[in-house]
Amino acid sequence: MDKENVVLRVDDLVKSFGALVATDHATFEVERGTITGLIGPNGAGKSTLFNLISGFYESDAGRVEVNGTDVTDMEPYDIADHGLIRTFQTPRKLEGMTVREAMLVGPREQPGESFIKLFTDPESVRQREQQNLDDAEQILEDFEIDHLATQPATKISGGQLKLVELARAMLAEPEILLLDEPAAGVNPTLRNKLAEQIRRLNEQGTTFLLIEHDMEFVMSLADPVIVLDRGHVLMEGTPDEVQNDERVIDAYLGG
């Protein structure tokens, strides 16, 4: 693949938990502008891979590159700075905050930088905060959840929380967004809205790496699809190729 077009490169990545090899020499690339699917049976190591790529776990061996920069085992906020943001399979509880407030503690915040600027350039800090507020409002509107803005973040449904997670992640304006089962626990109506938003953001230039259990959801959105089995990349192909591959059928039925 043309180097310029690779936004994420995972090379020979390894991670064990005791005797369990959760990531077993995983190697793949994500091409800029794609919605790349990542599927595999329960326990295949999909979430572990996200944790390694985004800096939440430390790898045993291997390399992760974002836009050609080696980000292996950097801190999550440094990796976010390089344009890679991820969501969690189970969104963290946002206690004591409204939905709007929850959106503003997004990963784009740089408290250290703002703190210094507060003294040297207070006007730019004020402008930045207003911009963040406007962006948050716009995204809530785009997702048709602006009516929830003043609700306690703990009071909204699981599906709505997933949309808020995605909206928060978008505020960081990532180049590549890693979504861990965004449709899980989301009702069919919201699920369609979620798919629409992913498609729309992708058309505006965001690259996606999408873990999803719901085959219909992932196969209708993603191309290519990468199949993970026991920590290893089993194959990669178009949704059609993947769905008709004997090894994939075996891994799922045997898994």
Rule CB under 5 A: which residues touch Mg ion? 46-47, 89
Is residue 42 a contact point for ligand ADP (CB under 6 A)? yes
Residue 245 CB, shortest distance to Mg ion, in Å, is 22
Selection from 207, 213, 206 nearest residue 191 by Cα:
213
Check: CB of residue 189 under 8 Å from CB of residue 220. Answer: no
Residue 36 CB, shortest distance to ligand ADP, in Å, is 16
How far is C-alpha 154 from the geometric centre of its chain's CA atoms?
A: 21
| Residue from the set 44, 53, 198, 201 that interacts with ligand ADP by CB under 6 A | 44
> Binding partner of residue 174 among Mg ion, ligand ADP, none, CB under 5 to 8 Å per kind?
none
Contacts of 115 (CB under 8 A, 6+ apart): none
Check: CB of residue 148 under 8 Å from CB of residue 140. Answer: yes
Selection from 144, 137, 172, 174 nearest residue 159 by Cα:
144
| Residue from the set 34, 47, 54, 72 that interacts with ligand ADP by CB under 6 A | 47
Which CB, 46 or 168, lies closer to Mg ion?
A: 46
Which CB, 47 or 160, lies closer to ligand ADP?
A: 47
Which CB, 17 or 77, lies closer to ligand ADP?
A: 17
